A = this chain, B = another copy of it.
Amino acid sequence: MTLKAIVLLSGGLDSTTTLAMAKSLGYDLFAISFNYGQRHKIELERAKTVAREIQTKEHRIINIDLRQFGGSALTDDIDVPTHRGNEEMSTSIPITYVPARNTIFLSYALAYAEVIQCNNIFIGVTSVDYSGYPDCRPEFITAFEILANLATKAGVEGMDRIKIHTPLIRMTKAEIIKEGLDLGIDYGLTHSCYDPNEAGLACGNCDSCLLRLKGFKKLGVEDPLKYY
């Protein structure tokens, strides 16, 4: 019997690579994406395309409204910081941080896992080339895994333990891209920008674009994505 895997999929470079890695491990794929009032809605279109290309068995898009809390440049009318002419990225928690985002996303993934009886959840967080969000750290993931096994029927009925897989956690952006290219990903289908223009083109200047471009540059490969 093929094992099921739930994969959190934003349509970005990291989550797309994670999806392809889960596929290469032989899992049946169940992708979950979130419409959370993000300003870059093109994400969800890319997530759908990627889910189709990598042959997920099911792709659920969950509507949640984090805007009702406010507090982030990714969902509110706060300017996304750019770094034109300034290669330094911020080291403190950036304004693009969305309160408790990964906690909420993983909670929904856990509900989905219980319903389809799946014990494997994949999330493409990385603690190397990342934006400094607290809920991307390995210790956060470990804590969530412990919680997941206490929160659910799995924890009390002797079923197999729920495992949170983070295949990218120790990889640099260049290593992630190399892995994805080896698995045949067309990164032209993905999307990473926090502040795309009306036509959906990436800015090339937000934290996320800078990390992505740096990764491709280090690898000596051209990013197939178009920037404005």
Contacts and interface: CB of A to CB of B under 8 A. Distances in A.
Interface in A131-176: 134-135, 137, 139-140, 143-144, 146-148, 150-153, 155-157
A55 interface: no
A97 B153 contact: yes
Contacts of A53: none
A135 B140 CA distance: 19
Contacts of A63: 65
Contact of A134 (B115, B135, B152): B152
Interface stretch (A21-29, A42-50, A68-76, A197-205): A68-76
A135 B115 contact: no
B134 A140 contact: no
Contacts of A70: 115
Contact of A143 (B62, B71, B139, B146): B146
A9 to B, nearest CB: 16
A100 B32 CA distance: 15
Interface in A108-150: 108, 110-112, 114-115, 134-135, 137, 139-140, 143-144, 146-148, 150
A19 B93 CA distance: 33
A66 interface: yes
A90 interface: no
A107 interface: yes
Given A140-B147, A147-B144, A114 B99 contact: yes
A105 to B, nearest CB: 9
Interface of A: 60, 62-66, 68-71, 92-93, 97, 99-104, 107-108, 110-112, 114-115, 134-135, 137, 139-140, 143-144, 146-148, 150-153, 155-157
